[in-house]
């Protein structure tokens, strides 16, 4: 079963509006990361939030983490056309002594001009 699941699967908003995407996960994590993917090729890291952090900012990005609800949100403020992309959350699991990172299926964000 999927560890990280983004919600919604797709989102279209007007340029200038704020976009909010959510990620839910099932098991305890060390960290949660958000990535962006353009054109179905390589992903670009946006932000990492550790399990003992509740909120983190980077430019127009704001990420929150609620470990009690096992959920995270990514907020993009004042959206721009260039923000059109797919956004993935990635959680790292503690499995025995080895960690691995599990990606969700992503939210496809489309910014309308």
Cβ atoms of 36 and 87 within 8 Å: the answer is yes
Q: What angle do CA 55, 61, 65 make, to 5 degrees?
A: 25
Distance, CA of 32 to CA of 50 (rounded, Å): 6
Judged by CB under 8 A, the residue of 24, 88, 91, 109 near another protein is 88
Q: Which of 54, 57, 80, 100 forms a contact with another protein (CB under 8 A)?
A: 100
Strands 55-58 and 29-37: unpaired
Q: Answer yes or no whether residue 103 interacts with another protein by CB under 8 A.
A: yes
Of 80 and 105, which CB lies nearer to another protein in the complex structure? 105
Closest among 58, 51, 53, 55 to 92, alpha carbons compared? 51
Q: Rounded to an integer, what distance in angstroms lies between the CA atom of residue 70 and that of residue 63? A: 14
The reply to whether 95 sits near another protein by the rule CB under 8 A is yes
CB of 10 or CB of 112, closer to another protein: 10
Cβ closest to another protein, residue 29 vs residue 76: 29
From the CB of 63, what's the least distance to another protein, in Å?
A: 13
* 101 lies in the binding site for another protein (CB under 8 A): yes
**Contact positions with another protein (CB under 8 A) in 47-86:** 48, 50
């Amino acid at each position: 079963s999927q560890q990280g699941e983004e919600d919604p699967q797709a989102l279209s908003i007007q340029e200038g509006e704020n976009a909010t995407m959510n990620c839910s996960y099932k098991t305890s994590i060390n960290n949660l990361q958000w990535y962006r993917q353009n054109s179905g090729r390589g992903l670009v890291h946006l932000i990492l939030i550790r399990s003992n952090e509740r909120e983190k900012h980077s430019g127009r990005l704001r990420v929150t983490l609620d470990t009690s609800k096992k959920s995270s949100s990514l907020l993009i403020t004042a959206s721009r056309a260039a923000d059109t992309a797919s956004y993935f959350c990635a959680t790292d699991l503690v499995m025995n002594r080895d960690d691995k990172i599990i990606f969700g299926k992503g939210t496809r964000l489309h910014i309308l001009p």
